[in-house]
Amino acid sequence: MTSLELLAPAKNLECGIAAVDHGADAVYIGASRFGARVSAGNSVQDIRQLCEYAHPFGVKIYVTVNTILYDHELKATEKLLWELYEVGVDAVLVQDMGILRMSLPPIALHASTQTDNRSADKVGWLHDIGFQRVVLARELSVSEISDIHRQVPQMPLEVFVHGALCVSYSGLCYASQCCFGRSANRGACAQFCRMKFDLLDADGRELQHQRHLLSLKDLNQIDHLDELVQAGATSFKIEGRLKDAVYVKNVVAAYSQQLNRFIAQHPHDYQRASLGNVIYTFTPQLKKTFNRGFTNYFLHGRQPYGSPGQHDIFSPDTPKAIGEYVGKVKELRRDSFNVAGTASFANGDGLCFINDERELEGFRVNRAEGNRLFPQQMPAHLRPGMALYRNSDQEFEHTLSRPSATRRIPITLRLDATADGFSLSAGQSTVHAVCEHQQAQKPQRENIVRQLTKLGGTSYECSRVELPDDFNYFVPSSMLSDMRRRLVEALLAESRQRRPAGGAFAVKTVGKSLSYERPYFYNISNHLACHFYDTPTVSAYELKGGNGPIMQCRHCLRYSLGGCVKYGGTKPSWREPLRLRLADGRMFRLEFDCKHCQMNVYAEV
């Protein structure tokens, strides 16, 4: 039986608890330092509380320690890893190989997607040096994932299924460092890929003017979980450690229900990795929380130009949330307009549209009367016939701002008579009460069941109470209540004593993982990483710079603009190389590496 894990993001303790309540099998969260989102840090004490809340459900907690490290940070990192282990964290995600040369607690290490995991050779190497899971590159197709699983079947594979996409292969993006002195590998990405660019050809001709040419839509694989499972993935990761609790609740609920539907179709092959049944007070709707429009990215590889969902993986008009389509603008008046469509609206809804200048423009609804909307101020560029989107649904967000799910673990309780009293058990946990046996004068089952099933306010719900056929004893209600309380405490204590399957590292492979063509691709930024890679000096871009690409992207502008003949486009009229130009004049040359079906971005001095 294969366990499948839905892995949810947590910006903070509140989001982590929401993820558990709404069906996550595991939660990943950042510590106070050394996580790939500097603005999403949490204290060890908060992480302890999250572990204590999650573990009774069998939900695991993973902490991101996945930045590259400088020498002066090594001691603090090692101390942090021990603290995380001591509060019950199940695994840590890491990028810096110097960590493997530290004195580590017996905690599982997962190879972050920042370690550039896109080949069977790399995944096999990571397995050999002790990693217990690999987070694959977002760009991989089902076929590529399947090949990796076939060649390295012993390595559990984690894949992203939802949320924001980085345009560059993770761990190999140096654009933010190059342009703004803020390292993505240090958790301080400046969102270079969400900026506006002009696109110029070799003759200086402007092909595109001030568009978000590197900004991708958001990933959405909810309809393809079965393909990913069959390819060998067992953990399904939702991106969003900067997102709020409303986002976490909605997306986790949607994917949890979808995963349950898949398992129901294959009950003898798969099971959830955690415990508990969830009851929701709402119907999840992915389009109602933050999204830039959706894509399944390269799930089926690069398809011929014009194939549905392929040529439009990027969002050149805006990097902001566009939300759900709600209809077209029909008639404009001085202070209002109406919408042709079936959507209903509420006061305070946030709406937006792409104006004639191909810019996203948004506004608030002050008052809604059916499909006639009265904005706080009429948008100057709104026109009849324009597509209208809702990126803030007041009613939906209000519903999710309140408690919106209940998760309980079903247990069977068994009451037995013992030589000196009674025992109450559930699973492997048993509690005893000493008292004299007293034959009952009337049937006791109804009262016993009523007392034992009062589990409200705990993580458990009683699915059945078992009594021996010959059980005919009077048991005081106060004793039943006390035994029930002590049994719940025993169950909780048992869950907190479970430790993850960590262990010391047995390094079988020494030296570099792949033959990268440029030293800075290894992201070696401290002496322990130098020791690991058997190299005399640091080579990280953040410390040494480099003359190679600052981005390596599977997203290809030649393809997306219809100029890739190999994939059904037409021979372009432009002359290459093409260049991107920021508004401040800085230029970036594009290299189309057709052998690897990849676009490289170079900064020009």
Query: Which among 425, 405, 402 is positioned nearest to 415, based on CA atoms?
Result: 425
Q: Which residues contact 366 (CB under 8 A, 6 or more apart)?
A: 347, 374, 375, 376
Query: Which band of pLDDT confidence, cut at 50, 70 and 90, is reported for residue 499?
Result: low
CB 326 within 8 A of CB 341: yes
In the structure, what pLDDT confidence band is assigned to residue 514 with cuts at 50, 70 and 90? low
Measured CA to CA, the distance from residue 594 to residue 39 in angstroms comes to 37
Tell me the average pLDDT of the chain: 93
Tell me the CA distances in angstroms from 303 to 139, 218, 306, 311, one per residue in order: 14, 18, 8, 8
Q: What percent of the chain is modeled with pLDDT above 70?
A: 95
> Residue 431 and residue 410: Cα distance in Å, rounded?
18
Find the range with the poorest average confidence among 35-39, 392-396, 461-465, 553-557: 35-39
Supply the pTM of this predicted model: 0.94
What does the pLDDT look like over 229-270, one tens digit per residue? Answer: 999 999 999 999 899 999 999 999 999 999 999 999 999 999
| Inter-residue contact 519 to 539 (CB < 8 Å) | yes
So what's the pLDDT on residue 521? 95
35 pLDDT more than 90: no
Q: Are β-strands 218-220 and 235-238 bridged in parallel, bridged antiparallel, or unpaired?
A: unpaired
Radius of gyration over every alpha carbon of the chain, rounded to an integer in angstroms: 28
| SS3 (DSSP) at 518 | coil
**Helical (H) or strand (E) element with 238:** strand 235-238
As given in the structure block, the two tokens for residue 197 are 């660019």
pLDDT of residue 38: 61
- The 3 state secondary structure assigned to 457-508 is CCCEEEEEEECCCCCCECCCHHHHHHHHHHHHHHHHHHHHHCCCCCCCCCCC
3-state secondary structure of 562: coil
Query: Given a cut of 80, is residue 310 above it in pLDDT?
Result: no
Output the pLDDT for position 457: 85
Residue reference for tokens 């017996």: 106
DSSP 300: T
List the structure tokens of 407.
């998760």
pLDDT at 45 over 60: yes
How far is it, in rounded angstroms, from Cα 575 to Cα 38? 41
Q: What is the mean pLDDT of residues 560-583?
A: 95
Q: Which amino acid appears at position 96 of this protein?
A: D
What is the pLDDT, as a whole number, of residue 605?
Answer: 73
Confidence of residue 517 (pLDDT cuts 50, 70, 90): confident
pLDDT at 492: 87
Tell me: the pLDDT tens digits for 84-118?
999 999 999 999 999 999 999 999 999 999 999 99
Mean pLDDT of 24-42: 82
Q: Are 224 and 288 in contact (CB under 8 A)?
A: no
Q: What is the pLDDT of residues 192-237, one digit of tens each?
A: 999 999 999 999 999 999 999 999 999 999 999 999 999 999 999 9
